[in-house]
Amino acid sequence: MGLKHKARIEVPNSYTLVGVCDEDRYLKAREIYACIQHFDHKSGEIKKEFIKGWVLVSRSPYIHPGDCQRLYAIGEPPEDSPFSKHHLPNCVVFSSRGYRAVPNMLGGGDLGEMSETCSELDLFNIIPVPDLMPPHEYTPAEYPSADLNFIERDSTIDDVADFMVQFICNDSVAAIAVNHLIIASIAKDGARNFNCIRNAELHSMAVDFFKTGVPVPADNVRKPKYSRPHPVTGLGLRPDWQVGHGRDPGDGYCYPCDSVLGKLFRAVELPFGNPAREEIPNPEAFQKSNAILKVLATHVAKYQVKIKATYISATPWVQALLARYTLELNHICVSHTIAIESTERVSEVEVMLGTNLESAENKSLVERMKLQTENLADFVRSELQGEADDEPHDWLARAWRAYTLTSSVGYDKFGVFSFIRSLTAEMAAYSEAALAKLDSFAEDDRDSWPWPHKKKSEYKESNSVEHPSSEAEVEHDASLVTGVEEPEADEIPRADGGEEGGEVEEGGVRGDEDMDLLRVCVRR
């Protein structure tokens, strides 16, 4: 995708190196010295390579035809040179001789005297491939330094704020670069077109805007003229390579461009659609969710007397929380799509996994998406926890009401699946102090807790379990735990997988009444 939409092509045997100046004045004019050092995994040794011959040297941004210069690399230095003892690995050394310093001829760089040599941490592209040498060498651009914007008083924080607002509103680097690229693509003389040369000068001014305080007026930017009108709307047709990802270049608003970008765009075929984003019904997912619900309901039933009031009153609150979660999740999916005009968006599963199947190489985009997703999940958990002095039973009631309510909605609804996942993590986040308050049933039954728990030896013995006193309360509270209609008695499975009726073994939940309660809780 980077090749099709960004024209990113890896150049073999080429390097991006840090540039330094020849302080000993050993190199002649238009000469460079470059030493490449790398580790050989086969031999386990560090090897050095000295570049020799004619090379192409540039520095981003490369926008003017003269921003790329052909220089001569001297290769391995002789013994009498200052580089023989200190090889300066993975650096390119520029000559300090000549009428004009080479870094000053290239694009980018800093202002003033620093750019006459090399400013700190400047990176240069070294391309020794003969096939990529341009047939003609163009005179490098030379723009006068812009006058700095001074104020006749001491600056204040208000001046800083005013400049930041002005910079945000008038930063035109991206607009100039895009217009330059389009004009160079559709013009017969390419980047040598007069409008491109003018935009290159404006681009140099715009890059220095944050240092000079002098903005580039938007009216001065040269814009492309589309000569092919649309037969219906009359608007100019754009080159097909300008179509963003996810858009159909054959929609009638584009034309096949004859430039290199257009040919490269049409030569690269990308698979249509994304199988991971196709909604495929999976009946097994609902069966697994029912199994999880059965296990959780078995344990939550033990606290239903204490969570009943909070559970019933939490329904509208949970609905509002789910609506807000879905809205924020949709914003994350849309804002992290590769192109604004794309017809597809990042799926809910991709957000949960913290990846983007169409832009896995864009690390910053993926990391930002993961951070926003984690913040959203933390928000849901903090809402369920409530205030610091809330009882653990209230925390459990809100989490369980959210789980049962979203389970009844169905996984096919956007946002429900990831919302339930955050709830599952929430219901496993009880501290030992909270577990001690929730401790009110037999010791041997704690082995199957879904929450973190202490070792058996650390618990105090408990010989009683709270449960409703009447059959009517059992039936009402059981529907509270599960949130659906109660099935017939012969359709209810045993919680322990055993047969109907009888007592459970010592150490489990005791009595027919408790067993009836659990059997009702696991009816799904």
Per-residue pLDDT tens digits for 278-290: 555 455 555 555 6
CB distance 514 to 520 below 8 Å: no
Sequence-separated contacts (24+) of 240-243 with Cβ below 8 Å: 240/265, 240/266, 241/5, 241/185, 241/265, 242/182
Report the distance separating Cα 292 and Cα 406, nearest Å: 14
- Give the span between the Cα atoms of 449 and 456, in whole angstroms: 12
**DSSP strand pairing (31-40 vs 91-94):** antiparallel
Q: Do residues 520 and 494 lie in contact, with contact meaning Cβ atoms separated by under 8 Å?
A: no
* Distance in angstroms (rounded) separating the CA atoms of residues 90 and 106: 20
How high is the pLDDT of residue 127?
93
Q: How far is CA 403 from CA 185, 296, 411, 416, in A?
A: 56, 10, 12, 10
pLDDT at 382 over 50: yes
Q: Of the segments 35-44, 354-363, 406-415, which one has the largest average pLDDT value?
A: 35-44
pLDDT tens, position by position, 81-96: 888 888 889 999 999 8
Contact 434, 453 (CB under 8 A): no
The structure tokens 């009816």 sit at: 523
Nearest to 384 by CA among 439, 298, 321, 431: 321
Name the pTM for this structure.
Answer: 0.59
Higher pLDDT among residues 521 and 376, named by residue: 376
How would residue 165 be classed by pLDDT, with cut points 50, 70 and 90? very high
pLDDT of residue 340: 52
Burial of 92 by CB count in 10 Å (0-12 exposed, 13-18 middle, 19+ buried)? buried
The sign of the torsion formed by the CA atoms of 478, 484, 486, 492 equals negative
Are 438 and 303 in contact by the 8 Å Cβ rule? The answer is: yes
- Distance of alpha carbon 342 from alpha carbon 229, whole angstroms: 24
For the stretch 469-487, pLDDT in tens is 333 333 334 444 444 333 3
Taking the C-alpha atoms of residue 401 and residue 190, their distance in angstroms, rounded to an integer, is: 65
From first CA to last CA, the distance across the chain in angstroms is: 46
Instruction: Report whether pLDDT(503) > 50.
Output: no
The answer to whether residue 406 scores a pLDDT higher than 60 is: yes
Rounded CA separation 504/512 (Å)? 8
Q: How confident is the model at residue 180 (pLDDT cuts 50, 70, 90)?
A: very high
Average pLDDT of the residues in 91-111: 82
pLDDT in tens, 315-360: 888 888 888 988 888 888 888 776 555 556 778 888 888 777 666 5
What is the distance between the alpha carbons of residues 264 and 285, in angstroms, rounded to a whole number? 43
Q: CA 233, 237, 238, 244: dihedral to nearest 10 degrees?
A: 50
Q: What are the pLDDT digits (tens) for 422-447?
A: 665 544 444 455 545 444 433 334 34
With a cut of 80, say whether residue 488 has pLDDT above it. Answer: no
Cβ atoms 54, 133 nearer than 8 A: yes
Q: Place 194 in a pLDDT band, splitting at 50, 70 and 90.
A: very high
Q: What is the pLDDT of residue 508?
A: 37
Share of the chain above pLDDT 90, in %: 13
The single-letter DSSP state of residue 441 is S
Region 413-423: what's the mean pLDDT? 75
Between residues 131 and 519, the one the model is more confident about: 131
- Return the pLDDT at 477: 43
Residue 415 CA to residue 195 CA, distance in Å, equals: 49
More confident residue, 493 or 189: 189
* Residue 403 pLDDT: 83
Residue 431 or residue 500, greater confidence = 431
pLDDT in tens, 108-129: 765 334 444 454 568 999 999 9
| SS3 state of residue 399 | helix
Using an 8 Å Cβ cutoff, are 372 and 329 in contact? no
**b/e string for 5-32 if b means 16 or more Cβ within 10 A?**
beeeeeeeeebebebbbbeeebbeebbb
**According to the model, what pLDDT value does residue 234 have?**
59
Higher pLDDT pick, 336 / 153:
153
Q: Which amino acid is at 39?
A: F
Q: Which pLDDT does position 230 carry in this prediction? A: 67
Other Cβ atoms less than 10 A from the Cβ of 373: the count is: 22
Residues whose CB falls within 8 Å of the CB of residue 288, separated by 6 or more in sequence, listed in order: none
Question: Which ranges in 412-524 belong to alpha helices (H)?
Answer: 416-426, 432-438, 471-482, 511-521
Alpha-carbon distance of 478 to 486, in angstroms, equals 8
pLDDT at 476: 39
Distance CA 88, CA 36 (A): 9
Most confident of 232-236, 461-465, 515-519: 232-236
Residue ranges covered by each domain of the chain: 2-132, 157-220, 283-521
In this prediction, residue 359 carries a pLDDT of 64
Eight-class DSSP state of 330: H
Two structure tokens written together for 463: 């010989």
R_g of the chain, CA atoms, integer Å:
34
Could you tell me which residues are beta bridge partners of residue 34?
92
Confidence of residue 157 (pLDDT cuts 50, 70, 90): very high
Buried b (16+ CB within 10 A) or exposed e, 313-350: ebeeebeebbeebbebbeebbeebbbeeeeeebbbbeb
Angle formed at CA 77 by CA 72 and CA 79, multiple of 5 degrees: 150
What are 126-141's pLDDT values in tens digits? 999 999 888 888 888 8
Question: Considering only 179-193, 269-283, 398-412, which range has the smallest mean pLDDT?
Answer: 269-283
The H-assigned helical ranges of 279-314 are 283-300, 304-313
User: Is 10 or 245 the better-scoring residue by pLDDT?
Assistant: 10
For 163, the token pair is 């400049």
